[in-house]
Amino acid sequence: METKKNYRIFKLHFDWAYLIIYWSITISLLCFSISLFLEFLTIDVRNTPLFILFLVMAFLGTGFQAKLYNQAIIISNFRGIYRKKINLVDVAYISVEDKELVWQLNNQKKLVRIGLDEKDVDLFIQLMKEAHVVVRDNRSEKKKHASNFPLGKLENKSY
């Protein structure tokens, strides 16, 4: 008998600043471990804990996801170490800005920011509208003003 899952999984990501810091530390652990290995040309007590710490950080750093159920969303960071459940009834609105979702909850002043893959944003908006959550899509306004140049539109100024 085949069972049907009643949730949808979305891959999340950190804010770019946290993402760069986290992976810089993780990769520096790998480089330091490799340099100790090449220095002594043996697997030693000094480099084994560093390499194991790198493996643990790399494993934990890839496990950011959100499970969307019918009436709630569960945000899971670091492979389930940190979990937060948000009931869709408690959501005042969701604002979509490029790849980021900004949640305003009914009884809190604090905003919840979630980074989402670009390919999943449209599906997420559709599922939220089906769950009768107010969604403000701000992506179209920003795309009107941006050019294809990655740093934005350049202006001709004489100096």
Query: Is residue 154's pLDDT more than 50?
Result: no
User: What is residue 157's predicted lDDT score, i.e. its pLDDT?
Assistant: 46
98 vs 136: which has the higher pLDDT: 136
Instruction: Spell out the residues 6+ positions from residue 43 whose beta carbon is closer than 8 angstroms to its own.
Output: 37
Query: Does residue 59 fall inside a structural domain?
Result: no
Q: How many domains does the chain have?
A: 1
Output phi, psi for 50, to 5 deg: -65, -40
Query: Does residue 92 fall inside a structural domain?
Result: yes
Query: Does residue 61 fall inside a structural domain?
Result: no
Query: Is residue 152's pLDDT more than 70?
Result: no
Query: Does residue 20 fall inside a structural domain?
Result: no
Instruction: Quote the percentage of the chain above a pLDDT of 90.
Output: 19
Query: Does residue 41 fall inside a structural domain?
Result: no
Query: Does residue 70 fall inside a structural domain?
Result: no
Per-residue model confidence as pLDDT tens digits over 19-60: 899 999 999 999 999 999 999 888 888 789 999 999 999 999
User: What is residue 106's predicted lDDT score, i.e. its pLDDT?
Assistant: 86
User: What is residue 30's predicted lDDT score, i.e. its pLDDT?
Assistant: 95
Domain range for 117: 87-145
Average pLDDT over residues 135-142: 73
Query: Does residue 27 fall inside a structural domain?
Result: no
Query: Is residue 127's pLDDT more than 70?
Result: yes
Query: Does residue 15 fall inside a structural domain?
Result: no
